[in-house]
Amino acid sequence: MSSSSDNPFVRFTAFWWALGVFSLFGVLLLVTKLFTSDTEESNPLEEAAAAKRYEMRTTVDAAQAAGLGYKEVEKGKVVQVPPTVVFKHVGETLLAGKPEAVKQDTQIIPGGSAVKTGGDADYGAVDKLTPAADTPVDPAAMEAGKAAFMICMACHGANGEGGPVGPPLANNPTVAGPVSNLIRIQFRGLTGPIHVGDKEMNFPAPMMPVIAAQDDAYIANVLTYVRNSFGNKAGPVLPEQVKMLRSEIGKAVLTEADLIKH
Which residue ranges make up the site for ligand HEC (CB under 6 A)? Answer: 151-152, 154-156, 165-167, 169, 172, 174-175, 182, 185, 190-192, 194, 196, 203, 206-209, 211, 222, 226
Give the residue with the Cβ less far from ligand HEC, 26 or 209.
Answer: 209
Give the residue with the Cβ less far from ligand HEC, 84 or 247.
Answer: 84
Asked if residue 61 lies in contact with residue 53, where contact means CB atoms within 8 angstroms, the answer is no
CA-to-CA distance for 219 and 54, rounded, in angstroms?
A: 38
Asked if residue 230 lies in contact with residue 170, where contact means CB atoms within 8 angstroms, the answer is yes
Give the residue with the Cβ less far from ligand HEC, 129 or 154.
Answer: 154
Shortest distance (Å) from residue 262 CB to ligand HEC: 10
Give the residue with the Cβ less far from ligand HEC, 2 or 155.
Answer: 155
Measured CA distances, 61 to 69, 72, 90, 94, 214 (Å): 11, 15, 17, 21, 30
Consecutive H or E run containing 145:
helix 139-156
Q: Is the dihedral of CA 58, 61, 64, 69 positive or negative?
A: negative
Residue 5 makes CB contacts below 8 A (sequence gap 6+) with: 11
Shortest distance (Å) from residue 242 CB to ligand HEC: 12
From 249, 238, 228, 252, select the one nearest 113 (Cα to Cα). Answer: 252
Shortest distance (Å) from residue 53 CB to ligand HEC: 29
Give the residue with the Cβ less far from ligand HEC, 166 or 178.
Answer: 166
CA-to-CA distance for 195 and 172, rounded, in angstroms?
A: 9
Shortest distance (Å) from residue 110 CB to ligand HEC: 11
Shortest distance (Å) from residue 193 CB to ligand HEC: 7
